[in-house]
Amino acid sequence: GAHTVLDADGAALAAGAAAHPEMLKGNRRELERLLGRHLDDEESTLNGARQVHDSGVNQVVVTRGREGALAVADSQFLRGVAPRVRAVSAVGSGDA
């Protein structure tokens, strides 16, 4: 079968997550909307990612801007650290 990666928001994110994609990638705000609660810190964000994982999504990646990213896959948890850079322009840093 095909491997699927979901990067969406709102109703599309909820419907796609229910279909159990191989990977779900979202930012913290998108995950908050999906779960219906605030994720105020790393621990609550990690717990939210685990909840999505436990619902049937194999890999969950949550981007957190300058705070880096969190990933949950099986029994593993990974933290990616964003390097400090001086931004010249934000053009192309979103959905590009």
Please write the tens of the pLDDT for every residue from 1-17: 789 999 999 999 999 99
Tokens of 22: 């191989």
Total number of residues shown for the chain: 96
Domain chopping of the chain, boundaries = 5-80
pTM: 0.85
Residue-wise pLDDT for 14-41, tens only, equals 999 999 999 999 999 999 999 999 999 9
Nearest alpha carbon to residue 77 among 39, 45, 41, 37: 45
| Cα gap 53→93, rounded to integer Å | 27
